Amino acid sequence: MRRIALTFAVVANSATVGAQQPSETRLEAPSPLVMTVLSRSNGIVAGASIDHKLRVWDSRSRKLTHTIDLAGRDVAWSAISDDGRLVLVADYAARVTIWNTATGRVEWEFKTPHYLTAAAFSRDGHLLAIAPGTPVQLYDVGSRRLIRELETTVGTTSVVFSRNGTSLASTDGDGVRIYDAGSGKLMARNLDFVSEPLAIDYAIDGKTVFAGGGDGTVLSIDSKTGGTIRRSVKLTDPVFYAETSPNGRETAVVTQNADDPQRPAPVVFVDVGSLATKFSWASPAGVLLPGATWTSDGHFIVATQTPGALHVWTIRF
């Protein structure tokens, strides 16, 4: 998740149609956050703050479990494994650190050519993809070994593994690229974006990818050929994150106000087949922080903040 400008703006309107009213989990946040990551299972939340601390919460018990000193490091990107066991923090000095959230200890640390502009764990946590300004790199998490580098891209903005980890998709200034994760071979490309795509995810069967970007449109793309299947209507704001629900029916599209990220922008849930908007949701308290996700049991969770508090919203279906 990329960091955002700090904000406490309040959204006036909240609209949730087609889902139950979201529930809120309020966590004490002693310092304003610049990024958060939310695990898909086990309720782990991690956030870096302007006091250069990484805090880890258990959202189920609402307890702060670890406060880790980042020693003045400015966070460029963060990621979390599905089970919440590993949290990756990359700083602008091109240092990547992965902590074990159970112990609060460093598991792995390494330098990269430049700071990261994207990172993602595979769903099983065995692989890690990072974009350090140069070609995307694939690491084996268990052995901490660089497996391979993919081809050079025009500024990678997001990476994601397919559900079974056999395929990897990325977005960059040219468009969308889909690779075989095992061989690193480029399998397909889509160059139909004019404005740079910024977010991508697979359908649960891996046959389609959904990508969105600066112009506020979402494309469904055949992951075998790279061809565009469908293009959504233009949303009001650029798309910064996209993720398909575990039941495969919706893709959650997190938008951000382009002119001022401190102004509110909604999460839009689109039908994976038609790309029509099913409903949208805007936070009633605080602007979205980076780090939304679908939980493994089928809810969408997203974080906002107000002074002194981190709010985790659960949208139930």
Partner 1 sequence: MGNPDSRSPEQRWNQLHLAESRLSRRDLLAKCAALGVLAVVPSLSLADALDAWDRQQGRTPTPWNELGPFYRKGAPRTTQLRAPGDRGMPLSVSGRVFDTRGDIVPGATLEIWHTNDAGQYDLSGYHYRTSLVAEANGSYAFESIMPGHYPARVCQHVHYLVRAPGHKLLTTQLYFATDPVFEGNPDRNYTKDPLIQSRELVRPVALAPRGGNVTASVSFEVVLERA
Residues that bind partner 1 (CB under 8 A): 4-5, 74, 76, 92-94, 113-115, 117, 133, 152, 154-155, 157, 172-174, 193-196, 198, 214-216, 238, 240, 258-262
**Residue 219, token pair as written in the block:** 């494309």
Cβ pair 131, 115 in contact under 8 A: no
**Residue 240, token pair as written in the block:** 């910064």
**Least distance in angstroms from the C-beta of 307 to partner 1:** 19
Q: By C-beta, is 139 or 193 nearer to partner 1?
A: 193
**Least distance in angstroms from the C-beta of 298 to partner 1:** 30
HSE at residue 203, side-chain half, CA atoms within 13 A, is 19
Q: By C-beta, is 27 or 254 nearer to partner 1?
A: 254
**Least distance in angstroms from the C-beta of 6 to partner 1:** 10
The closest of 181, 216, 180 to 196, measured between CA atoms, is 216
Q: Could you give the CA distance from residue 190 to residue 153 in angstroms, rounded to a whole number?
A: 13
Residues found in the chain: 317
Number of neighbouring beta carbons within 10 Å of residue 21: 11
Q: By C-beta, is 103 or 152 nearer to partner 1?
A: 152
Q: By C-beta, is 10 or 17 nearer to partner 1?
A: 10
**Least distance in angstroms from the C-beta of 161 to partner 1:** 22
**Least distance in angstroms from the C-beta of 194 to partner 1:** 5
- Local structure of residue 220 (DSSP, 8 states): E
**Least distance in angstroms from the C-beta of 88 to partner 1:** 17
Q: Which amino acid belongs to residue 207?
A: K
Within its chain, how far is the Cα of 202 from the centroid?
13
CA diameter of the chain: 49
Q: By C-beta, is 17 or 93 nearer to partner 1?
A: 93
Q: Could you give the CA distance from residue 146 to residue 188 in angstroms, rounded to a whole number?
A: 23
Q: By C-beta, is 92 or 279 nearer to partner 1?
A: 92
Hey, which residues does 302 pair with through a beta bridge? Answer: 313
Q: By C-beta, is 140 or 260 nearer to partner 1?
A: 260
**Least distance in angstroms from the C-beta of 216 to partner 1:** 8
Q: Which residues contact 183 (CB under 8 A, 6 or more apart)?
A: none
